[in-house]
Amino acid sequence: MKRIFIDAGHGGVDPGAVGNGMREADINFEVAKMLAQNLKKLGFETKLSRPTKTHIPTHPRDGGQTINARALMSNDWGADYFISIHTNAAGGTGAESFFWGADARKFSQSILDTYCKEMALRNRRNEQTDRWGVIRLTHCPAILFELAFIDAPASKPDIGILRHKRGEMANALTKGICKYFGIDYLVTAQAMSKDVQAAISSLNRHGVISATQVKHWRNNYHRLRYVDSLIINIAASLGGK
């Protein structure tokens, strides 16, 4: 599966944009972290530029510039795609995405269109630009995504979304990525039933699957479909659930 590097913009001593009692760096971090968790559940490899809220990305060759560090970290890791998460300011409304490189256009458009539809936000633009070093310096298709406006007018939906729907934003971004790759979005599928949990435990007791495999099944159950009956029947044939 593809490697996706996720950069939560700003951080450390840099709060980014500030408005309505919120800091951009905090919003970016929370959405980026949840996006990474979603993508891992779907089988993607992910890496975060900021594993904690206070972490400031650095790199031996960054020249003292955290922007350079983020791109270099992605390049060194061998990312297939790069996403930098940001929150907009300047009194507007809606979401927008900036990309670098022709290969990134469709990736960026898929995420933006899906996100705006899911969050009921204005779709402002999907624009190629070399303005942002964090995407210009990467060696893979890269986008800088602006979630919404932290200083939007009260009559607009941006503030409520940024304050109360960070999980939904991460889910919407995930859906856009899934659409681009043509895979099912299953991260919010129903949890494993008690019957299936009991059957898997039985298979483990009978030595059919190891403890490590039990953990894998439970962690990845949302990606498996049409196998409940099979698991239960195999366990039953071995002498119980």
Of 6-15, 156-165, 228-237, the range with the lowest mean pLDDT is: 228-237
pLDDT at 121 over 80: yes
pLDDT score of 143 more than 70: yes
Active site residues: 146
Q: Is residue 225 predicted with pLDDT exceeding 60? A: no
- Domain 3-181 fold is Aminopeptidase (3.40.630)
Q: Is the pLDDT of residue 22 over 50?
A: yes
Please list, in sequence order, all residues whose beta carbon lies within 8 angstroms of the beta carbon of residue 66, skipping any fewer than 6 positions away. Answer: 12, 14, 56, 57, 58
Domain ranges of the chain: 3-181, 194-237
Mean pLDDT computed over every residue of the chain:
90
For the chain, give the DSSP string. Answer: --EEEEEE-SBTTB--SEETTEEHHHHHHHHHHHHHHHHHHTT-EEEES-SSTT-----TTSTT-HHHHHHHHHHHHT-SEEEEEEEE-SS--SEEEEEESGGGHHHHHHHHHHHHHHHT--EEEEEE-S--HHHHT-SS-EEEEEEEETT--TTSSHHHHHHH-HHHHHHHHHHHHHHHHT----TTPPPPPHHHHHHHHHHHHTTSS-HHHHHHHHHTGGG--S-HHHHHHHHHHTT--
Predicted pLDDT at 229: 65
pLDDT of residue 201: 83
The answer on pLDDT for 226 being more than 60 is: no
Answer yes or no: is pLDDT of 120 > 60.
yes
Render pLDDT for 7-19 as a digit per residue (tens, 0 to 9): 999 999 999 999 9
pLDDT bracket for residue 232 (50, 70, 90): confident
Instruction: Output the pLDDT for position 239.
Output: 72
pLDDT higher at 28 or 185:
28
Average pLDDT over residues 19-39: 96
Asked if residue 6 lies in contact with residue 85, where contact means CB atoms within 8 angstroms, the answer is: yes
Residue 237 pLDDT level (bands cut at 50, 70, 90): confident
Q: Which of 30, 29, 27, 38 is nearest to 4 (CA)?
A: 38
**Looking at residue 189, what is its pLDDT?**
45
